[in-house]
Structure 1
């Protein structure tokens, strides 16, 4: 009887110990204190370095990091770039590694970067999870070569100019023309390998204009070359327009009912502000998206005929007008007119003067039925307020082809064509693109002169 009791107690004790062991093992395997995932090191396998800008390395770990070390090996000896130990574990560590100022790796072109990290886990007998990562560092301190081959003599506010340049670097990363107002114009490969062409635009609302070709290689070496343009200022019309009830209760109310019925409860002035500001902003965003694309395939030339989209069309509103609206002599809203309004007969046929591809043919708010055609080199023509389409998106059109008829769609009070020109998303003076002399002097002659230089 006593033996049986002792056996039962022993079995109970053994079972209890077993359960403790199982529970302990389960705790170890499931507790965050004993997590088993090694830290993650964000480090490319290969880095090109100019020895000036720091190399950025990020290390993350779920349980937190307690030790990080970065070292650089030049094939003969190694040097510590950074060591960090943390009393309280850090879940993310960013390293900014700079090249030693002196006494290491003289004239070496290749190094090996080694990153080591240990987390704060209690795994591996409380020593934590460790990881290391290596990257081959290739030294490149040579800046890209940039040489301006030719450019337009001048650029007018609201207008366009050309620039052709040579840019070379075996590790080229970025190439663009930078302006003083933040816009980047991207080039198209031109005529021969290593040469590029782009058009730049000076928006009407920007007071001054500068442009520089910027080339950056993968190592971060940068070359900036100023493009010398003579700046021709131009004053654009400003006008104050008194809003009438028949316009607010008619055209504006109809636009809201058709395109934004959820806004029907707004007052008539609120409806006008919504159409003139919010709807306009969305419509112009659609245009910007479509007209920002730039060809990336090499071209050997570029030529356009002057644009005459509407036969016998009379100008009824000019480009660049800054319009201030008021109601009962109180300021209400404002906007810029980004095209040239042309009118002739009602539902007159409009033509494209140059070959192109239809990239947009749909309803677009205040622009009504709207067509946009790409003509290459980031140049686009726009046709608004169409009553009907004769083309669809994706169509290839030829010079002289009828594409639509004028109308009253969108924010149009009378039958007319809203004609616009865009260069890489920037609205520009249509008058320049309708001027044979301007096209020749500012674009085509620049191209031909640059070709002669490139052929030498």
Structure 2
């Protein structure tokens, strides 16, 4: 009798559970008044040849019953996916691969209709419809080279003029890991000017510049161009360090270097880590540039100044007779009278006038197209950020700030933050033959 009672209790309990489940399911079917949610990615509107459209549909209430995905293009509606879900799936995802060729280039709309399994009120509340407009562009930009003479020296500068078949979101010249942005010009049809370099650390055998352009849809094109690369040899230099130099110099960097370690340890941190940080800042400043050329003619040189350290000197640093570091000097050191007035090399806009680590007090003038001149170790600065200057305007006075061993001007020319040989920019013939002739 006990077994029959237990069996009856189990049957009754099972029946109750089934009834409750059916009741809960029926409740959801009748009371789910929230339609499915639909999300479509990417936002667009431009899609390239490698793009995919992802459609996610979800209904946590009664579950999904069906979804229909269609494309509308040039007045024609084509169903790409028609799915039903007998089990009432809570979510699903559809992917449209544009590479499959179902959608032609040009404007189109994606239309999604999703229904859930609810029946109250008669399914009207369980329908969701979404639309998304896109532009499909599978054709990369075409690059047309306008500058057919490109003669560069190792460590020197160059200018490339090219046009594109369509506007680009990014264009420029890649040299190894370095990228030199090009800037669209107000005149011409998608005309671009690009200042670039044959970096000092890139021999002719490794110099393989490529023009790159990316359109709004993410399509990228690249091409080489004819050029002649001339090798250059750079000097080697020896720098002798002393405790007295450390004691004079390091206090200027309080708050920028660790207080622990020997004077040599602190100096090496400045010469290595802080130097890298300062170079990164100059690269960032190289992007703060006018899209058009601001300068004219050869650049002015510090008057009556003798050349000291040269561009790209390979420096070995000695302390107590042993090599402790190696760095490359990225400008020219020019020595004149103490506290000598420093003229602006050419017309431009001040983009930096402040203390910058190893460079001390620094003024940076932007001359457009990523071309910038740097005036370092200044005792005083006579300009401020945003100010427009003309060639020969006084920007400051020489000094010994930063890692300077004596009163002098550290002078650099950078292109998009990459140092180049300044002497080229003092030469009117070089500028005319290699730069301005390409703009005429």
Q: Provide TM-score, normalisation by structure 2.
A: 0.78
The equivalences for 1:330-349 within 5 A come to 330-349=322-341
Match of 1:405 among 397, 408, 430: 397
Alignment of 1:363 with 2:366, yes or no, is no
Task: Give unpaired runs (5+ residues) of structure 1.
Answer: 1-23, 449-456
Q: Is the 8 A contact 1:114 1:134 kept in 2?
A: yes
Work out which of the residue numbers 48, 52, 60 in structure 2 matches 1:55: 52
Residue 172 of structure 2 corresponds to 176
1:200 aligns to 2:199 (yes or no)? no
1:338-379 per-residue CA deviation (whole Å, 9 max, x = no partner) reads: 111000111111111322222211111111111111122321
CA contact (8 A) 1:48 1:138 kept: yes
Q: What is the alpha-carbon distance in structure 2 between the residues aligned to residue 330 and residue 443 of structure 1?
A: 44
- The 1-side partners of 2:400 and 2:406 are apart by 6
Measure how far apart 1:119 and its partner are.
9.4
Corresponding residue number in structure 2 for 1:217: 215
Choose which of 228, 233, 236 in structure 1 pairs with 2:234: 236
What is the match of residue 80 of structure 2?
80
1:270 aligns with 2:265: yes
Rounded Cα–Cα distance in structure 1 between residues aligned with 2:319 and 2:227: 43
For structure 2, the 5+ residue unaligned runs are 1-22
Distance in 2 between residues matched to 1:397 and 1:79, nearest whole Å: 63
RMSD over aligned Cα atoms? 4.1
Which piece of structure 1 moves more, 427-436 or 217-226?
Answer: 217-226
Residue 38 of structure 1: CA displacement? Answer: 5.2
> Quick one: which of 406, 415, 430 aligns to 2:407?
415
Instruction: Call closer, same or farther: CA 1:355–1:139 in 2, change over 3 Å.
Output: closer
- Using the alignment, how far apart are the partners of 1:358 and 1:441 within structure 2? 28
Alpha-carbon distance in 2 for matches of 1:391, 1:344 = 21
2:277 equivalent to 1:282:
yes
Shift of 1:308: 3.2
Aligned length: 408
The farther-off stretch of 227-236 and 176-185 is 176-185
1:313 aligns with 2:313: no
How far 1:115 sits from its partner (Å)? 4.1
Deviation of the 1:160 alpha carbon: 0.9
Distance change >3 Å, CA 111–CA 37, structure 1 → 2: closer
Instruction: Give the one of 136, 140, 144 matched to 2:141.
Output: 144
* Residue deviations 1:133-158 (CA, integer Å, cap 9, x gap): 32234444444343111254212221
Give the 3 Å change call, closer, same or farther, for CA 217–360 of structure 1 in structure 2: closer
With the length of structure 1 as denominator, give the TM-score of the two structures. 0.75
